[in-house]
A and B are shown apart, each in its own frame.
Chain A
C-alpha cells in the first residue's frame, strides 16, 4: 500500500490519476478469524484499526452488511465536540477529541477535521445555569470551554438573530473552540485503509444472520456469505444492536429511532462554525461544498426505516428560521434518516455481555460520530484483553442492573 504524499500525488498526476491503487482489498471471507467485528461503520473500522495497531491482532475480519460507512457514519451531521457534563462521558469523548486532533496524520488520510468551534445556545435562564455548570465541569476535566454572551455570539456569527423579543431569545451559549466537524466518509475510508494495510479483511455485502455459541461462549457467525468461525466477536452495529442481541439470546435496554438530517443547496460561505440549540431543537453548520447541514431531534417512535416524519423536519426548520431568518428562503436539497439506538440514559453501552467472547459497542444514540476514534480505541482494548478499558468501564451493560446510570440526557448540550 503506497503512502499518500505530495510525491505520490505528483507521480500519479503524470499518469492522469488513472493508476491509483484501491485503498483497501475486497477479500473472500476465510473460514476462521481470531476476531470478527460485525459492522463496517466508523466505530467498527476504528476498532479493527486499533486492534491491529495497538494490540497487534491482525487476523481480523470486519463484516458489513451493506457498504462501508453506508449507515450512520454517512448519515450524521459530522459534529465533533467533547463538552459533556459527567466525568465518565467527558473523559471518553475527550479521549476521542485528542485522537481526532492527530487522526489525519496517524491514518495518512485526510479526514478534513476542522476545529471551527461549536456553540451550544441557551434560551432560558435555566439553560444558562446549566451551561455555566457544564462549562465549569468541562474546565475541571481539562476540556476547553467558555460561556459567551449574545453580543459575543453576534460578533462571531453576524447572521444570527439575537433579538430579545422573540419566543426563544438567545441568552448566551457555551463555546468549545476545539470542537468542529470532520468529513464522515473519509473517516470510514481512512480507518478502512489503515486496518486493511495491517492485514484486516474488510468484507462488504456480508450480513450476519445468526450468532453461534456453545457452552455460553461464541464460536462464530452465520452470514449471507457462509459461516465464519471466531472465538471473539465485537458487535458495532448502530441501530441494529437489539436485533443482534436477540440473535445472541439476551435483551438490550435500547430503542431504535429514526434521526433525520438535511442539506440545502450549496451557497457561498456564510457560517464558519457549528451552532447547536438544545432548547429549540436544531443544529447547523456549513460543509466545504457550501451546503448548510441541518440536524434535529429524533422521531419519537421506534423505527428501522431510515426515514422519518415531516412534522419533525418542520419543527427543526422552524427553529433554524428563528435563529437565522436569513435562511428562510434557502432551498433544501436532500433529506434522509439514520437509525439511532438510544439507551435510557443517552449513553453508549460498551463492554462485555452475558455471552463469553461476545462484546457490544452500541447505544451511541444521536451522538456517536464524534466518538468514532475513541470508541474504536477503548473497544479494541476491551476485545483484545477481554476486560474493559478504564474509560469504558462505566459504560457496561450491567449499569442498568446496578443503577449506576450516566444521566447525560439533556445535561450535555445534546439535542435530543
Chain B
C-alpha cells in the first residue's frame, strides 16, 4: 500500500486515489493545423520511463482534485507531490 501525500489533504492511503497517467502533457494549440503524426504523439505516445516518472493522481475519495507526483516506477517511492500548474520541486521548466 502506497502512502500518498495529497497537496491539499495530507498523507492518505493509496486506495483513496486513482491514477491519471503522465503529467505535463499539454494539449496542442491550433489543432486544425496539426499533422496526424503530431496528433498521435499527443494522444497516444508516452514516455513510460523505467525510473523517475512525473504523473497525475486524483484524490478520488477525498478532495476530488488532481495533483502531480514524482514517483520512481521501479521502487514506487514517491519523492514529491505538487499542485497542477506547478513544476516539481528542485526542477526548472521542462
Q: A residues near B, CB below 8 A?
A: 240, 242-243, 246, 251-256, 300-305, 309-311, 344, 400-403
Contact = CB atoms under 8 A, between A and B. Distances in A.
Interface size, B (range): 20 to 34
Contacts of A311: 1, 14-15
Majority SS at the chain B contact face: mixed
Nearest to A299: B19
B76 A305 contact: yes
A305 B51 CA distance: 10
Contact of B40 (A300, A301, A400): A400
Which 8 pairs across A and B sit closest by C-beta, in order of nearness? A253-B44, A242-B48, A251-B45, A300-B19, A401-B40, A301-B19, A400-B44, A311-B15
17 contacts: A242-B49, A242-B50, A251-B45, A251-B46, A251-B47, A253-B46, A254-B48, A255-B21, A256-B50, A256-B73, A301-B19, A302-B19, A305-B76, A310-B1, A400-B43, A401-B36, A401-B37
Interface of B: 1-2, 14-15, 18-19, 21-22, 36-37, 39-41, 43-50, 53, 55, 71, 73-76
Contact of A304 (B1, B18, B50): B50
Given A251-B41, A309-B1, A243 B14 contact: no
Majority SS at the chain A contact face: loop
B38 to A, nearest CB: 10
A305 B40 CA distance: 28
B75 A305 contact: yes
A303 B76 contact: yes
B45 to A, nearest CB: 4
B48 A255 contact: yes
Contacts of A252: 45-46, 48
Given A252-B48, A256-B48, A305 B73 contact: yes
Contact of B14 (A251, A304, A309): A309
Contacts of B48: 242, 252, 254-256, 302
Given A301-B55, A309-B1, A243 B50 contact: yes
A313 to B, nearest CB: 11
B78 to A, nearest CB: 10
Contacts of A256: 48, 50, 73
Nearest to B45: A251
B72 to A, nearest CB: 9
Nearest to A345: B44
B36 A301 contact: no
B22 to A, nearest CB: 8
A402 B36 contact: yes
A176 B74 CA distance: 38
Most B Cβ at <10 Å: residue of A246, A302, A303: A302
B47 to A, nearest CB: 7
Nearest to A344: B44
A305 B15 CA distance: 19
B36 A242 contact: no
Nearest to A241: B48
A403 B39 CA distance: 10
Given A251-B45, A256-B50, A302-B73, 17 more contacts: A240-B50, A242-B46, A252-B48, A253-B44, A253-B45, A255-B48, A300-B19, A302-B21, A302-B53, A304-B73, A305-B75, A305-B76, A309-B1, A311-B15, A400-B43, A400-B45, A403-B36
A231 B26 CA distance: 38
A348 to B, nearest CB: 15
B73 to A, nearest CB: 5
Nearest to B35: A401
A303 to B, nearest CB: 5
A252 B40 CA distance: 10
Contacts of B76: 301, 303, 305
Given A243-B50, A311-B1, A401-B40, A305 B21 contact: no
B74 A305 contact: yes
A149 to B, nearest CB: 36
A44 B37 CA distance: 29
Contacts of A255: 21, 46, 48
A253 B22 CA distance: 12
Contacts of B22: 302
Contacts of A243: 50
